[in-house]
Amino acid sequence: MSLIVQKYGGTSVGTIERIEAVAAKVAAASSRGDRVVVVVSAMSGETNRLIKLATDIDQRPDPREMDVLVSTGEQVTIALLCMALKKIGCPARSYTGGQIRILTDQAHGKARILDIDDAPVRADLEAGRVVVVAGFQGVDEDGNITTLGRGGSDTTAVAMAAALKADECQIFTDVDGVYTTDPRVEPKARRLDRITFEEMLEMASLGSKVLQIRAVEFAGKYNVPLRVLSSFEEGGGTLISFEDEGMEEAKISGIAFNRDEAKLTILGVPDQPGVAHEILGPVAAANIEVDMIVQNIAEDDTTDFTFTVHRNDYQKALEILEANASRLKAREVHGDDAIVKISLVGVGMRSHAGIASTMFETLAKDGINIRMISTSEIKISVVVDEKYLELGVRALHDAFELSGEMDP
């Protein structure tokens, strides 16, 4: 008998019919003998409807009251799902974040979970009931309603699984797992049976947005096996867990990419201590987040400094650089917002030499010029011209044989 936590997102509970389908899935797991805790989001569209009510009153509504308002979305879903479960003979009980006492800090709209009172849930599970928990919400120590921010239901599910020491936390969504790359770019992309937490973090932050990053971090921290699977199709999905021996075989798990970045370069800056801070300080002060940073020594004791920012921040960052160029004694400022970042991700590359050279060779063979390179333990990222995105991803997918079968 396993204890599993299942999470269904807004699309999966978007209509009465879909809620009934979720109830059937949950009841099936329960009748197989598993003890089941279900975490649900608001019905799709509901959170936006509530936000509009608030912004019709105030463009910047009070954060405490915003949480009181939007938390009703999940409360509606837990009640409806329990009704649907009971109708098909499956005993169930709903809990709001406040009722189960999902204790958070006081950061309204982006609260962090501090503690969960698992006693009532355990009592219900012992009594043979399915427990249905409102995702995305909690209470602070004064009993004020808080929310974890949008998409926070994933985090609730992982936190419940950690508190209950669940055997698995299953995230049901509208995709059936994590893929080697985006199937819209490479139709031969293949669903991964397994992936490590670290790889998943790199894949997620690089643009394959299947799961909330915070939920993955949380699952890794508490060693909760996480499974992504489809609400609408059968299938085993993708299991996200710590690496095991079988995983060593795979050098590369997938190829992530990001079209939302722009590149800025400042050329011929005197190469002296503190120059990086002098360049990036004003950018950070303008609340612009920087992603990749690369610095090269050029000739004449000067250095070239390149970094990427979100494309929305490109113009602003360029203006800041240009305004500072003379103070920095820079020769020139360049910018390019028609670039993409492509990243190879895989824990296997730690112990396998030659991944980087194979990657560069593959791109070169197709005439793709690399503008920027950045590496980490389990990732190699390159920046190339935007027009090469599909060509580059497909070439790398082939070169690293990601379309083939992989042992689970």
Residues forming contacts to a second copy in the complex (CB under 8 A) are 16, 19-20, 50, 53-54, 56-58, 61-62, 64-66, 68-69, 71-72, 75-76, 78-80, 82-84, 86-87, 93-94, 96, 98-99, 143-145
Output 144 or 205, the one with its CB closest to a second copy. 144
Name the minimum Å distance from CB 104 to a second copy. Answer: 15
Name the minimum Å distance from CB 70 to a second copy. Answer: 8
Residue pair 169/157 in contact (Cβ under 8 Å)? The answer is yes
Q: Tell me which residue of 394, 400, 404, 387 sits closest to 359, measured CA to CA.
A: 400
Residue pair 249/407 in contact (Cβ under 8 Å)? The answer is yes
Name the minimum Å distance from CB 81 to a second copy. Answer: 9
Output 74 or 291, the one with its CB closest to a second copy. 74
Name the minimum Å distance from CB 357 to a second copy. Answer: 58
Residue pair 160/113 in contact (Cβ under 8 Å)? The answer is no
385: number of Cβ within 10 Å: 15
Output 106 or 374, the one with its CB closest to a second copy. 106
207: number of Cβ within 10 Å: 18
Output 71 or 156, the one with its CB closest to a second copy. 71
> How far is 29 from 144, CA to CA, in rounded Å?
34
Name the minimum Å distance from CB 359 to a second copy. Answer: 52
Output 58 or 332, the one with its CB closest to a second copy. 58
Output 98 or 392, the one with its CB closest to a second copy. 98
Output 20 or 34, the one with its CB closest to a second copy. 20
Q: Tell me which residue of 2, 5, 10 sits closest to 231, measured CA to CA.
A: 10
Name the minimum Å distance from CB 17 to a second copy. Answer: 9
Name the minimum Å distance from CB 154 to a second copy. Answer: 22
> How far is 153 from 32, CA to CA, in rounded Å?
25
> How far is 68 from 61, CA to CA, in rounded Å?
11
Name the minimum Å distance from CB 160 to a second copy. Answer: 18
Output 124 or 198, the one with its CB closest to a second copy. 124
First to last CA, the chain: 23
Angle at which helix 63-87 crosses helix 16-31, to 10 degrees, equals: 60
Name the minimum Å distance from CB 157 to a second copy. Answer: 19
Residue pair 330/268 in contact (Cβ under 8 Å)? The answer is yes
Angle at which helix 389-399 crosses helix 355-365, to 10 degrees, equals: 130
Output 120 or 335, the one with its CB closest to a second copy. 120
Name the minimum Å distance from CB 391 to a second copy. Answer: 49
> How far is 281 from 284, CA to CA, in rounded Å?
5
> How far is 61 from 401, CA to CA, in rounded Å?
51
Residue pair 150/142 in contact (Cβ under 8 Å)? The answer is no
Q: Tell me which residue of 101, 75, 98 sits closest to 145, measured CA to CA.
A: 98
Output 92 or 383, the one with its CB closest to a second copy. 92
Radius of gyration of the chain (CA): 24
Residues 6 or more apart whose CB falls under 8 angstroms from that of 316 comprise 286, 288
